[in-house]
Amino acid sequence: MPSGSSINTASAPRQVKLRQCSVFSPTFERNAVNQSQRAAIQTRGIDISKNVMAIDIYESIFQNTISGSLTIRETEGYIETLPLTGTEHIYLEFAIDYLNETRVFNRVFRIRRIGDVTFPKNEERMYTIDLVTPEFLRSVSTRVLKKYNNISCMDAVKDIMKTYLKVPEKKMQETHFENTDGVVSVVIPNYTPLQAINFFSTLALTKKIPSESNFLFFETIDGFYFTSARKLIEDAAALPEANLSAPATAQTGNTIPIYEVNANKMTGMPSIAEQQAFNSIIRLHQDQTFDVLVDTASGLLRSKMLHLDFFARKWNEEDSRYTETFKKTTHLDKYPVYPNNFDQSVGRNVKMFIVPTNISSANSKYVETVGDIPSPQRMYESIVLRNRQLKELQHLKTLLDVPGRADLRAGKVIVLRYPSSRALSDANDNPSMSSTQLPTPYHSGRHLVTSVRHTMTQVSTGIMEYRMHIEAVRDSFGAPLIGYKEDANDKDGKAV
């Protein structure tokens, strides 16, 4: 479709072409009647793309690997004649056409299970094939029992991916790794590979000061990521917001997408430009704004860390408050979601973390006498901060149903313009002017996309309608709240 053309938002763009959906299994090869058929099955598998009615792929920054499902409608009886038993691989490839650009997605999956079998007609069968990645299945089937000495968390994650998950070198090059600060020495006690990677994610610190321990390991349809939430936000901070009036081809990958509710109603036009159509929200649901009980009990507002030195038999405590740490960490916007000093209404002992340290024993006279002075270790010292930041990301949660696009993935930042349900105090006092044209000052702004469900439904053979179901979160406000008076007698303790 030419740039600047109009599109009716009543139907989503049909921009996905299913190129291949093939099933591979040694069982099929053994059943081949001759060498020629066997070679064809080994090379191309058995193509079932004509029977694929829908594709669903899910990615999330809180999920290590992508997952998916296929809705199949067929008369060949694949379940019984092939047969499908969970030992097969499925190769899926489709192309996404978006604003004069085509991106190709291809991925190998393992069949997890087959369910929801129905018979619309006597000779017809309809069912769902649930898919997982080979890396996920390999993780469930493997355990890591290994000691890592003086290794960075990033290098440890790379080693686990290569050695245990068997990630191909080509895919490793496509992985988005962020350098981590310092080294660790730990023993992995019979974890699955993905559990071990998540363990190193809790230990990893960003290179920049102040160090933040909010690393995540996840996969999108573009590849694996080992990166911090801080970097996801900072990368977006360097990009301008999209200009919906600019030529459509100038937008892809270079700007932050802007989403608005009912763009065609706001303009009063029966149809809108293509770029605006891709940025128009089909359905919006604010799943959660806050939960003060969960935030209190989980330690978001206030918590205490106990540093325990087993050898010296000493401990010291360090208090942490949301009001203080918000100023020192990276966020999507400027202002905290709870008023300043509101956290002083929560006892400092409500949520406690105990972590090992060797600060006292490293400074002992015995160590000084023998001359073997170890470097101080305060492992997990950022666990309180990590807990708080990840809880912040769950604070304001919005679900969006939007047209599919090739440049939006979990971990990306978008701008969401919330409509106001009332006339704002500084709005034009004109009854005929819709107040929905003015975004709300608190909830509107930059959001981090935490998950994307790619839903493709067949409209004709090989051509699919593409929708995205997005979960976007916001960890801060665009306007300040009125703070509470600080209690000068409530002093936080600090570890030595």
**pTM passes above 0.85:** yes
Q: Are strands 223-228 and 176-177 parallel, antiparallel or unpaired?
A: parallel
Distance CA 192, CA 178 (A): 22
Q: Is the pLDDT of residue 305 over 50?
A: yes
What are the Cα distances from residue 250, in Å, to 122, 159, 172, 185? 52, 39, 30, 47
**The predicted structure's pLDDT at residue 1:** 34
H-type helices in 308-453, by residue range?
A: 322-326, 359-362, 365-370, 383-392
- Residue 194 — pLDDT band, cuts 50, 70, 90? very high
- Residue 249 — pLDDT band, cuts 50, 70, 90? low
- Residue 118 — pLDDT band, cuts 50, 70, 90? very high
Residue keyed to tokens 């905290």: 336
Mean pLDDT of 200-215: 87
Q: Is the pLDDT of residue 429 over 80?
A: no
- Asked which of 9-13, 91-95, 124-128, 159-163 is least confident by mean pLDDT, the reply is 9-13
Distance CA 257, CA 111 (A): 34
**Range among 92-106, 161-175, 347-361, 476-490 rated most confident:** 476-490
Distant-in-sequence, close-in-space partners of 495: CB < 8 Å, separation ≥ 6? 305, 307, 316, 317, 318
**The predicted structure's pLDDT at residue 492:** 79
Cβ pair 302, 493 in contact under 8 A? no
How many other CB atoms are there within 10 angstroms of residue 253's CB atom?
A: 8
**Structure tokens belonging to residue 226:** 């080992």
Mean pLDDT of 125-153: 95
* 324 three-state secondary structure: helix
- Residue 432 — pLDDT band, cuts 50, 70, 90? very low
Cβ pair 261, 436 in contact under 8 A? yes
DSSP for 365-393, please give it. HHHHHHT--PPP--TTTTHHHHHHHHHHT
What are the Cα distances from residue 297, in Å, to 293, 337, 347, 388? 6, 17, 10, 12
Distance CA 299, CA 296 (A): 6
Mean pLDDT of 249-270: 63
Distant-in-sequence, close-in-space partners of 208: CB < 8 Å, separation ≥ 6? 230
**The predicted structure's pLDDT at residue 269:** 52
How many other CB atoms are there within 10 angstroms of residue 398's CB atom?
A: 21
Mean pLDDT of 325-342: 93
- Residue 495 — pLDDT band, cuts 50, 70, 90? low
Cβ pair 284, 398 in contact under 8 A? yes
Q: Helix/strand/coil (H, E, C) string of 16-68?
A: EEEEEEEEECHHHHHCCCCHHHHHHHHHHCEECHHHEEEEEEEEECCCCCCEE
pLDDT averaged over every residue in the chain: 84
**The predicted structure's pLDDT at residue 253:** 58
Question: CA angle at residue 178 from 398 to 380, to 5 degrees?
Answer: 80
Distance CA 117, CA 126 (A): 6
Distance CA 363, CA 144 (A): 34
Q: Is the pLDDT of residue 346 over 60?
A: yes
- Residue 199 — pLDDT band, cuts 50, 70, 90? very high
Distance CA 472, CA 453 (A): 12
Q: Is the pLDDT of residue 146 over 80?
A: yes
Residue closest to 472 by CA, chosen among 323, 325, 256, 187: 256
Phi, psi of 226 (to 5 degrees): -125, 100
pLDDT (tens digit per residue) in 348-393: 899 998 888 776 666 666 556 655 555 556 567 788 888 999 999 9
Q: Is the pLDDT of residue 223 over 80?
A: yes
Task: Name the maximum alpha-carbon separation found in the chain.
Answer: 87
268's torsion region: left (phi>0), alpha (psi -120 to 50) or beta?
left
Distance CA 419, CA 399 (A): 15
**The predicted structure's pLDDT at residue 6:** 40
166's torsion region: left (phi>0), alpha (psi -120 to 50) or beta?
left
Percent of the chain with pLDDT over 70: 82
**Residue at 176: amino acid letter:** H
Percent of the chain with pLDDT over 90: 50
pLDDT (tens digit per residue) in 435-470: 445 667 788 899 999 999 999 999 888 889 999 999
pLDDT (tens digit per residue) in 11-24: 445 679 999 999 99
Q: Is the pLDDT of residue 250 over 50?
A: no
**The predicted structure's pLDDT at residue 318:** 86
Distant-in-sequence, close-in-space partners of 65: CB < 8 Å, separation ≥ 6? 132, 133, 135, 136, 194, 218, 219
More confident residue, 140 or 173: 140
Mean pLDDT of 228-251: 77
100's torsion region: left (phi>0), alpha (psi -120 to 50) or beta?
left
- Residue 2 — pLDDT band, cuts 50, 70, 90? very low
